Amino acid sequence: MLGRVNHVAIAVPDLAAASAAYRDTLGASVSAPQGLPEHGVTVVFVELPNTKVELLEPLGADSPIAAFLDKNPSGGMHHICYEVSDILSARDHLIQNGARVLGNGEPKIGAHGKPVLFLHPKDFFGTLIELEQV
Ligand code: CO
């Protein structure tokens, strides 16, 4: 069911500082910031030869990453995103196998304009999983 790793997402308290560190210190290609109000984050994409890293900063009053940053004030790995070819059949398979899908269970459009779902981290060893249909 799982395909490639689409991205790893890192929550950061200061997106400009994190972008500069990835661009200048690590020597990576970093996109311009993109606000995603419906997801409560501002994101930049770090483009790597084999995948992407997304740096996420809270956007708005009730950002889903605000609590994470309260617990991890200097930032930290927030989720990993795997590609799937059919997100609805993946969701149904997961639910049949006892996994919890966050939200109302319906895919939302993610940062890349594709449908995404998130899976409960307690079902997957403490790691928040995003599935993206490609
Ligand atoms: Co993501």
- pLDDT per residue as tens digits for the range 4-42: 999 999 999 999 999 999 999 999 999 999 999 988 999
Residue 38: what pLDDT?
A: 84
What confidence category does residue 112 fall into, taking pLDDT thresholds of 50, 70 and 90?
confident
- Compute the average pLDDT of residues 89-100: 98
- Of the candidate CATH numbers 3.40.1280.10, 3.10.180.10, 2.60.40.10, 3.40.50.300, the domain formed by 5-133 belongs to 3.10.180.10
Quote the ligand 1 centre to 33 CA distance (angstroms).
14
Quote the ligand 1 centre to 130 CA distance (angstroms).
6
Which residues surround the ion ligand 1 when the cut-off is CB under 5 Å? 9, 81, 130
| Alpha-carbon distance values, 37 to 26, 52, 62, 110 (Å) | 28, 21, 10, 11
- Can you say whether the dihedral through the CA atoms of 39, 69, 6, 23 is positive or negative? positive
- pLDDT per residue as tens digits for the range 33-83: 999 998 899 999 999 999 999 999 999 988 999 999 999 999 999 999 999
Quote the ligand 1 centre to 79 CA distance (angstroms).
7
**Which residues does 112 contact at the CB level (< 8 Å), separation at least 6?**
6, 132
